[in-house]
Amino acid sequence: MTAMSPIGSRTPCVEFAALFQHRLVEDPAPASAPVEMRRRSLMMTRKAQHLCTQCPVMAQCLYDAVVRFDVAGYAGGATAKQRAEIRVRLGIRVAYENFGSMAGVAAGRRQVDHDEVLRLHNANPEASLETIAVRLGCSLSTVKRHMRQARMAAAVAERAAPEPLPEMAEVLTAYRAIVTDPDDRRPYLA
């Protein structure tokens, strides 16, 4: 562990909420970002990943974040982009859900009404998502999450029959294939 230990009875994402809610962890810097920003983002994301590997509910958290809920930000030891890649590998699409209750992820954060995001977006089609985020007093990733939710809800509504959910083992195998572990330590996924 780093200087951040020890982890108490709360999940690491609650214990170290400032790290998990940092914009460079919620929305990791893209390849086009300045080198220093990418370096910081990678460092912080690895720290979050390391903390997730110490979390006793990591396997279930990862499963939920991949299969059941489309949460924003870092969760289950993976970024939102990595979880999307895991879904592609598994051949699944996550169903529309109200995922505000997911363990740790939404703790201490302002809940934004889904309909309000869509209403504002529809009422202001020219406004950027950043503008909507400022208006609602939430993060850009939250607005993006709600927009993604809306698209997925439409996609799910078109589906004739629900597909069977993947097994936990399949999700963990896909995780290992997508997410590299800089410390080579995943005690709860071994």
Contacts with ligand SF4 by CB under 6 A lie at 11-13, 51-52, 55, 57-58, 61, 75-77, 103-104
Residue with Cβ nearer ligand SF4 (102 or 140): 102
Report yes or no: 12 and 52 within 8 Å, Cβ to Cβ. yes
Long-range contacts: 12-17, Cβ < 8 Å, 24+? 12/51, 12/52, 12/54, 12/55, 12/104, 13/48, 13/51, 13/52, 13/55, 13/74, 13/75, 13/104, 13/105, 13/107, 14/104, 14/107, 14/108, 16/48, 16/51, 17/107, 17/108
In angstroms, what is the minimal distance from the CB of 190 to ligand SF4? 15
Least spacing, CB of residue 136 vs ligand SF4, in Å = 23
- Do residues 169 and 176 lie in contact, with contact meaning Cβ atoms separated by under 8 Å? no
Residue 58 or 174 with smaller CB distance to ligand SF4: 58
The residue among 74, 37, 34, 76 whose CA lies nearest residue 53 is 76
The least distance separating ligand SF4 from the CB of residue 17, rounded to whole angstroms, comes to 10
Q: Give the residue with the Cβ less far from ligand SF4, 108 or 137.
A: 108
Give whichever of 77 and 120 is closer to ligand SF4, judged by the CB atom.
Answer: 77
Closest to 180 measured CA to CA, from 102, 88, 67, 77: 77
Least separation in angstroms between CB 50 and ligand SF4: 10
Based on CB atoms, which residue is closest to ligand SF4, 17 or 156? 17
Cα Rg of the chain (Å, integer): 17
As measured in angstroms, the least distance from the Cβ of 120 to ligand SF4 is 28
Considering beta carbons, is residue 11 or 79 the nearer one to ligand SF4?
11
Question: Taking the complex as a whole, how short is the minimal distance between the CB of residue 153 and ligand SF4, in angstroms?
Answer: 24
CB 78 within 8 A of CB 45: no
